[in-house]
């Protein structure tokens, strides 16, 4: 496949999955403008390095990897600029119908690292296979499995605490 | 799991801003106008690959054999090994190093191999502190592999806005196990003006006008360095190299001149390496 053909596929993919990409970026930074910035940065990076993607079948996991790394990079660079009370910020941003339910998601995710968030979101919200998540994180499947269980354990404990 | 179901619903309820589609289109478009940025890089990679294919059969294995020189007591082999590979954020790094095996003098072998490793570390360090997008590509190529001379080149391409290509070459005598330096080929320093005036005359003759000139239009190239990058061809001819941008415009890339042996004959120490 030529680089031009890969670019065309990538462009189609990006347009089709922009919502999913935005939601993942948003869940890292919980801020609309920052999430848009990350999505844009990731797209530019992906287009620039698409010639290095040997197997087009991995486009999806490859792009998620770029997206996640872009977000990590962004968080590192803008550490001080992102509001520390981001849970509060998130609630203001998306004014949910049921504030209590909404709390579940953000309260839970807030306790997790970027990697843990990624595992939970991709596995349970995006229904991604563990094998594919392993590719996104560049880890082996068993490691991802172990981290998923550890994260679930952590979440469950926190959720119980929250409901008590 | 009920909680996860709730969370999933909430996740998919994250509202998509109306600006998203414009932002995505903008990012896609931004790239289109900048496509030229990585095209030259690809071409460079293809050009270097072409150099490889002439001498060896590229396999996708971890280490590519670049040369194998059978000697009386051993076989000296050179491999290209992927050393550093990063594709992270604005940085794109693909660096290979040559690895030499088969010398009797293991210390000599180790010094060379450590040197190649150190070169890559230094290069990587210098680019990782740069801001903005940067791409670093380094390839090991064997230019000559005879019993007398093993010329090992490292082509470095740094792309940052524009791209700059440079070359480093070690000429090793695999039989005697030492490094051949440019001054060591000659009796005295007369080789410097002899080679320089030959190159000057060549530049004057070339009509592509890529070579740098001063305000009056005279060629700015003056003299080679005493330790100018060089290689020895398998026919025993001396070849002199200049990095991109040192004596000519970028379009010329790395510039090389093969020096006819007659030009340097009076200065030559012997005709053991140069014939």
Higher pLDDT, B210 or B22: B22
**Closest approach of A140 to chain B, Cα-based (Å):** 19
Nearest to A22 among B8, B16, B30 (CB): B16
Question: Residue A160 — very low, low, confident or very high, per pLDDT cuts 50/70/90?
Answer: low
Over 90: is that where the pLDDT of B153 sits? yes
Q: Quick one: closest CA in A to B34, which residue? A: A48
Nearest to A47 among B26, B31, B42 (CB): B31
Residue entry with tokens 């462009």 = A11
Among B residues 135-194, those touching chain A with beta carbons less than 8 Å apart: none
**Closest approach of A111 to chain B, Cα-based (Å):** 14
Over 90: is that where the pLDDT of B36 sits? no
Q: B182 is written with which tokens?
A: 């440019």
* DSSP letters for chain A: --HHHHHHHHHHHHHHHHHHHHHHHHHHH--HHHHHHHHHHHHHHHHHHGGG---GGGHHHHHHHHHHHHHHHHHHHTTTTS-S-HHHHHHHHH--S-HHHHHHHHHHHHTS-HHHHHHHIIIIIS---HHHHHHHHT--HHHHHHHHHHHHHHHHHHHHHHH-
Is the Cβ of B131 closer than 8 Å to some Cβ of chain A? no
| CA atoms of B214 and B23, how far apart (whole Å) | 47
Q: B43 is written with which tokens?
A: 């071409």
pLDDT value at residue A49: 87
- Cα A79 to its chain centre, rounded Å, is 18
- How many domains are contained in chain A? 1
Over 70: is that where the pLDDT of A95 sits? no
**Closest approach of B5 to chain A, Cα-based (Å):** 8
| CA atoms of B253 and B137, how far apart (whole Å) | 15
Mean pLDDT of B68-83: 81
Domain range holding A154? 3-163
Pick among A17, A43, A93, A126 to test the B interface (most B CBs inside 10 A): A43
- Taking an 8 Å cut-off on Cβ atoms, the answer to whether A43 and B24 are in contact is yes
Interface confidence, given as ipTM, is: 0.81
Contacts A102 to B, Cβ<8 Å: 10
- The strand pair at B134-145 and B91-101 is best described as parallel
> Of A16, A4, A125, A19, whose CA–CA distance to A56 is shortest?
A4
Those residues with Cβ within 8 angstroms of residue B112's Cβ, 6 or more apart along the chain or in another chain: B100, B170, B172
CATH number assigned to the domain with residue range B181-275, chosen from the 4 options 3.90.640.20, 3.40.50.300, 3.30.200.20, 3.10.105.10: 3.90.640.20
Is the Cβ of B82 closer than 8 Å to some Cβ of chain A? no
| CA atoms of A63 and A21, how far apart (whole Å) | 9
Q: Which CATH architecture has domain B36-180?
A: 2-Layer Sandwich (3.30)
Question: Residue A158 — very low, low, confident or very high, per pLDDT cuts 50/70/90?
Answer: low
Nearest to A40 among B10, B14, B23 (CB): B23
Mean pLDDT of B145-171: 88
Round the average pLDDT of chain A to a whole number and report it: 80
pLDDT value at residue B104: 86
pLDDT value at residue B30: 66
Pick among A36, A99, A121 to test the B interface (most B CBs inside 10 A): A36
Contacts A87 to B, Cβ<8 Å: none
- Taking an 8 Å cut-off on Cβ atoms, the answer to whether B12 and A23 are in contact is yes
SS (H, E, C) chain B: CHHHHHHHHHHHCCCCCCHHHHHHHHHHHHHHCCHHHCHHHHHHHHHHHHHHHHHCCCCCCCEEEEEEEECCCCEEEEEEEEEEEEEECCEEEEEEEEEEECCCCHHHHHHHHHHHHHHHHHHHHHHHCCCCCEEEEEEEEEEEECCCCEEEEEEEEEEECEEEEEEEEEEEECCCCEEECCHHHECCCCHHHHHHHHHHHHHHHCCCCCECECCCCCECCCCCCCCCCEEECCCCCEEEEECCCCCECHHHCCEEEEECHHHHHHHECCCCCCC
What tens digit of pLDDT does each residue of B95-151 get?
A: 888 989 888 888 889 999 999 989 988 888 887 777 777 888 898 989 998 888 999
- Taking an 8 Å cut-off on Cβ atoms, the answer to whether B17 and A36 are in contact is yes
| CA atoms of A130 and A128, how far apart (whole Å) | 7
Residue entry with tokens 């849970």 = A87
Q: Quick one: closest CA in B to A153, which residue? A: B1
DSSP lists the bridge partners of residue B178 as: B173
Which residues of chain B form CATH 3.90.640.20? 181-275
What tens digit of pLDDT does each residue of A137-151 get?
A: 989 999 999 999 888
Instruction: Put the strands of the sheet holding B230-232 in their side by side order.
Output: B230-232, B238-242, B255-259
> Of B213, B217, B210, whose CA–CA distance to B252 is shortest?
B210
Is the Cβ of A68 closer than 8 Å to some Cβ of chain B? no
pLDDT value at residue B33: 43
Please classify residue A12 by burial: count the beta carbons closer than 10 Å to its beta carbon, then call 0-12 exposed, 13-18 middle and 19+ buried: exposed
- Taking an 8 Å cut-off on Cβ atoms, the answer to whether A40 and B24 are in contact is yes
Mean pLDDT of A69-91: 62
Residues in chain B: 275
Over 70: is that where the pLDDT of B1 sits? no
Question: Residue A3 — very low, low, confident or very high, per pLDDT cuts 50/70/90?
Answer: confident
Q: Which of B57-61, B145-149, B184-188, B246-250 has the lowest mean pLDDT?
A: B57-61
- Taking an 8 Å cut-off on Cβ atoms, the answer to whether B14 and A45 are in contact is no
- Taking an 8 Å cut-off on Cβ atoms, the answer to whether B24 and A11 are in contact is no
Is the Cβ of A14 closer than 8 Å to some Cβ of chain B? yes
Q: What is the CATH number of the domain that holds A60?
A: 1.20.140.160
């Amino acid at each position: 496949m030529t680089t031009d053909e890969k670019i065309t596929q990538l462009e189609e993919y990006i347009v089709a999955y922009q919502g999913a990409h935005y939601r993942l970026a948003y869940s890292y930074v919980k801020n609309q403008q920052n999430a848009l910035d990350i999505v844009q940065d990731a797209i530019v990076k992906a287009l620039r390095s698409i010639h290095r993607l040997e197997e087009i079948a991995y486009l999806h996991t490859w792009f998620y990897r770029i997206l996640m790394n872009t977000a990590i990079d962004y968080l590192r660079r803008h550490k001080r600029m992102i509001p520390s009370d981001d849970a509060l910020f998130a609630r203001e941003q998306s004014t949910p119908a049921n504030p209590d339910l909404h709390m579940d998601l953000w309260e839970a995710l807030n306790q997790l690292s970027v990697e843990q968030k990624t595992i939970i979101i991709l596995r349970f919200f995006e229904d991604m296979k563990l094998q594919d998540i392993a590719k996104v994180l560049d880890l082996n499947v068993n490691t991802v499995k172990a981290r998923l269980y550890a994260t679930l354990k952590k979440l469950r404990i926190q959720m119980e605490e929250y409901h008590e | 799991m009920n909680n996860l179901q709730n969370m999933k619903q909430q996740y998919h309820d994250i509202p998509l801003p109306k600006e998203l589609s414009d932002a995505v289109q903008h990012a896609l478009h931004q790239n289109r106008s900048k496509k030229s940025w990585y095209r030259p890089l690809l071409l460079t990679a293809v050009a270097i690959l072409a150099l490889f294919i002439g001498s060896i059969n590229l396999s996708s294995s971890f280490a590519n054999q670049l040369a194998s020189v059978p000697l009386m007591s051993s076989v000296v082999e050179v491999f290209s090994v992927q050393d550093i590979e990063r594709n992270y954020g604005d940085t794109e790094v693909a660096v290979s190093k040559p690895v030499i095996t088969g010398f009797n003098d293991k210390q000599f072998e180790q010094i060379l191999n450590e040197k190649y490793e150190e070169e890559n570390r230094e290069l990587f360090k210098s680019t990782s502190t740069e801001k903005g997008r940067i791409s670093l590509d380094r390839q090991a190529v064997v230019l000559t592999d005879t019993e007398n001379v093993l010329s090992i080149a490292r082509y470095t391409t740094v792309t940052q806005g524009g791209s700059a290509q440079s070359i480093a070459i070690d000429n090793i005598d695999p039989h005697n196990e030492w490094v051949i330096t440019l001054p060591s080929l000659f009796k005295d320093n007369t080789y410097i003006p002899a080679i320089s005036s030959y190159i000057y005359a060549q530049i004057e003759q070339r009509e592509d006008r890529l070579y740098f000139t001063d305000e009056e239009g005279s060629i700015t190239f003056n003299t080679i360095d005493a330790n100018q990058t060089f290689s020895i061809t398998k026919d025993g001819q001396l070849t002199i190299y200049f990095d991109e941008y040192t004596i000519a415009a970028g379009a010329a890339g790395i510039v090389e001149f093969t020096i006819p042996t007659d030009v340097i004959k009076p200065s030559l120490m012997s005709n053991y390496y140069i014939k």
